[in-house]
Structure 1
Amino acid sequence: MKTKIFLMAALLMSVAGFSQKNEIKAAEKALKSGDIATAKASLESAAGLISGADERTQAQYYFLQGQVFADLGRKGDASAFQQAVDAYNKVVSIEEASGKAKYTADAKTQMTTVANDLVNAAVEDNKNKNFKDAAEKLYMSYKLSPRDTVFLYYAASSAVNGGEYEMALDYYKELKDVGYDGSTMVYKATNVETGEVEEMDKTQRDIMVKSGTYTNPMDEKTESKHAEIVRNIALIYTQLGQNDEALEAYKDARADNPNDVNLVLNEANLYYQMGDKDKFKSLMGEAARMAPDNPDLHYNIGVINMEQGDLEAARAAYRKAIEVNPGYVNAQLNLSTTYVNEGNALIDEMNALGTSRADIAKYDELKQKKDDLFSEGARVLEDALKTNPDNQSVLSQLKNIYGALGDTENFMRIKKLLGE
């Protein structure tokens, strides 16, 4: 009796195995004819017993499954790409364990194809502003081909564009860990006919130079992406509100890139957001020393000094900004405002005085000082009009100053320029 039961069980297993192989053959046939739906259905029918199949059958099954999912991915099912990769990896794993590599080479070739398909799909996702999907596909492509770290870089960029900051942070940290540089060699030569410098691949450039149609070959290495990566790590920490981590990231970034003024500026802005205006001012001063010809730096130093009531320091910064850029209207307006504000502060003191002879004398003294300050503010704006004669903000502020001074002639002149 026991023997009969055993024979029956063996017979059932044999029938099941036969059915399973038929399904795999049917899937293979459907794939060759381009019938992906039938191929997928056949493989699903065989799935229940595949774990008990021999290694050769398992490898064939997963290879076909990889082809099915890869095709579905190309047709728009984004999740299918990962399933394809998983299937191909199983092929490699099974055959490495068995020592028989019938499908391994093809599986690896297919994974390279999938990596390219992922990149192409990511390009379309980015065009359609599906940035998260693009980032995930680019990262998957990078994992398939770890040497192509540029895909990890683009994955991080796509994640940032999509506002997926935690995802982007993970990618940027991985870029930093693998030491991604991102610099490339650019090949240039001068077109003899036009005199213009043109970029081309090295082989073409060398041929053109030999032909005599181009001259002066140059090999230039593009800037490393390392500074950008460490800067972005700090910026993302800031975006996520993780200020301590951001400050630590800036510390590391500046240690690697001590001459990067943008790192100093970004760190300064973080301190400003945290309410530490003294540290902000200190860092802005450091940045200004690093980039003395940047008028925006001097302007921002002027703004923070003005907010803190240090008018002389503010004026010095605004004057430096104007020296670098004589047409810097905002710096000119703010410089004028420092004098007007100082003059306005004297009015309260004037109004608090009594009617004694001493108070009247003090009043006249303060009034003269106030008028001198207003006049200096007007002089700054008159200089501003030389480079920006139609600027409405300058004209409006200048009209108000002349009105406060009781200078009717200049008041009417500016009012006419305003078209009033």
Structure 2
Amino acid sequence: MIRRFCMVAVACLLAGCAQQDAEESLTRTEELRESLDLNVQRFMLQAEAAWRQGNYLHALALTDSVEKYVPELADTYFLRGRIYTDLNQLEIANAAYATALAADEQYRGAHMNIGINYFRRGQLRDAIDAFRREEAVMPNTHLYLEMGRTYAKLGMADSAQWSYEQSIMIDSTNTTAYMWLGQLHEEMGDFETAIALSKRAAKIRPESVDYRYVIGTQLLRMGEVEEAVAQLRMVVEERQWHHGAQYNLGQALMRLGEEDEAEIHLALAEEAQQIQQDINEAHEAVNRDPSDVQNWLHLSEVHRKAGMYDRALDAYKRAIAIIPNDLRMHVNLASLMLESGDTDGAIAQYRMIVDRDPSLTDAWLNLGVAYGNAERYDEARQAWEMTIRLDPDNRTARNNLNTLARMASEG
């Protein structure tokens, strides 16, 4: 029997790490890596781990430690670029990548990441120039994918097509390249080629909802309405607030004469459009001022309301990076993790909080909920008993303990 308990509402990092042929000489960075002190290696590994966990300020502090030991190590500045990119501080990120290139002009990935940040800022010509510089260092499937997207945005369809085809030539499993090339053909009016490419991508990644949406939309535009409905139904089952899927499904059902059901999906499309507008406005606020913690918290909340928990968590972690010592925010992050279904992650987060401040009642209460959801009932009981020691009048903890007692008596 499922029981529910009550709670308080609230790839390899380094671009140059590919194995080299024996006959090739090492780059300056690769030579330095081979001679790094063990302490420096540990700092770099800890910095990467902190970055991946969203502990951005700690990661930056660790890169400072590495720089003191080995100021000429390009890896340090490359990681800083990635951290500042995640924090949406793109100018600082590109300056860090430029420092990596000053230390090692052949550093792989730095020019490409500079180009991606230029793309995000709308500096498309500068992005192409950066991608071309990366091409001289190390052509790769992701580079040509980004190059194709940029050319497409510039309206240079032939160059975009060539870039996507280069990406696929290097990696025939690059599903994004198939999809973007298919969308390019769709924009040119070649629907048969477009849908063939989209289906190729979906065959490689049949679990992708995004690919089903693209295929459903293309089928609708081709007049294959019943097939389109089948694809789009699967999309809205998983993503209720997908505006395009709801709207196109409503339109397809109208064509089939299913007017009552069509109206339901068109109404949902209107709600989804408002949600998407809220998300867009939140993104714009973050872009205007990425140092304002409230902007990140709002971005997290609008994604949470839309059921986009991965993005909600990402935005919340970036808010915490601005004020990392606010344990109340860590409690809310753990609660968001628990709401998203990441029970193990929530438990680890709550444990970290109560270890740092054992007086936080809400953390103990919600830790008990997380243990209860994981069916670790003895640990749940201990957490709720601790809650009551801190707050003898806490009715939620007492109710949860009573629930455990009934469960035990029922066997």
TM-score range, shorter chain: 0.3 to 0.5
Higher percent of residues as strand: 1
Mark the structure with the bigger radius of gyration: 1
Instruction: Give the TM-score normalised by structure 1.
Output: 0.38
Q: Which has the higher contact order (CA 8 A, sep 6+)?
A: 2
Instruction: Give the TM-score normalised by structure 2.
Output: 0.38
